[in-house]
Amino acid sequence: MKKNIFPIRGVLLFLFLLFVNSFHALPNVYGQTDTLPGIQPLLELDGQSIQALLPVSLRPLIVVKEIEAFLQELEGMPPDWTQLRHSNPTEQSERLFQLNRQRDKARMDQHSLLHQPVAFLWSGTLRHFLPEYQGFSLALGPEHTPTSWGIIRFKPSELPSYLVAVPSSALREKLLTRQQAGEHIEIIVVFIGTFIPDESLIYAFSHDGHKEGMILPVVFVRNIMYILKALRLSWRSDHDEAELK
């Protein structure tokens, strides 16, 4: 007896059409934060701290004491930069290589810290207004934070290819007016992610002529937040500022 294949074809056709329609049902780019993590709302602090905007599950590495406390837990003690520094660049590179290899190996036992989601900051500026997104393209740059461990410069990995900050309609008009007046509008970029276990920290020296000790934490980026920087904004609390003076 010949099998009836038409019901099977009908089911397959239905599934195919459902699959195609699912793409047409996707929201516009403004709302695709899951598929396009680089396109995010431009937030305002309104007197809050950055930490207050972060989920409680994240570990903020924003102010000096937060960064130093994390490094203390993860690494134990900072390196002796004077012992690593050498007038011969080849010898200095070899010393750094050996230090990084030793610390990478010792760090592999710190699984809980390395897999904990963290948040750190970069700086940014608004560039061109993009009508198709109703937002602004961005120019980004790293923060260099002096600490007792050396200069800390976070290194984000796997950044989205497209970065757009989308303000509310009311804020958008204000920002466009400010741009037309020639104002340079700064924002704070909050990267959220987890450390790359095999290369979570890189010890190096700065290349600015001072050759200061530098630590580059390498973080796989999973989400981004954009925050408008007020004219008189510091992400340190008054208590942190008093400690740094």
Reported as a single tens digit per residue, the pLDDT across 51-76 is: 999 999 999 999 999 999 999 999 99
As a whole number, mean pLDDT of residues 1-7 equals 48
Residue 169 in any domain: the answer is yes
Whether 4 maps to a domain, the answer reads no
Residue 209, burial from CB neighbour count under 10 angstroms (0-12, 13-18, 19+): exposed
Q: Does 108 fall in a domain?
A: yes
Residue 218 lies in a domain: yes
β partners of residue 166:
41
Can you give the residue range of the structural domain that contains 139? 29-244
How many CB atoms are closer than 10 A to CB 136? 25
Of all residues in the chain, what percent carry a pLDDT higher than 70? 78
pLDDT confidence band for 198 (50 / 70 / 90):
confident
For the record, the structure tokens of 147 come out as 């600490």
Max Cα distance, the chain (Å): 90
Is residue 43 packed enough to be buried (19+ CB in 10 Å), middle (13-18) or exposed (0-12)? buried
- pLDDT by residue (tens digit) across 144-182? 999 999 999 999 998 988 899 999 999 999 999 999 999
Say if residues 134 and 239 touch (Cβ distance below 8 Å): no
In the chain, the number of structural domains is 1
Least Cα distance to 221 among 117, 135, 138 occurs for: 117
Query: Is 7 inside any structural domain?
Result: no
**Residue whose pair of structure tokens reads 């920002």 in the numeric block:** 175
Residue 166: inside a domain, yes or no?
yes
Residue 105 falls inside a structural domain:
yes
Residue 181, CA distances (Å) to 131, 184, 232 in order: 19, 9, 20
Under the banding of pLDDT at 50, 70 and 90, the label for residue 209 is low
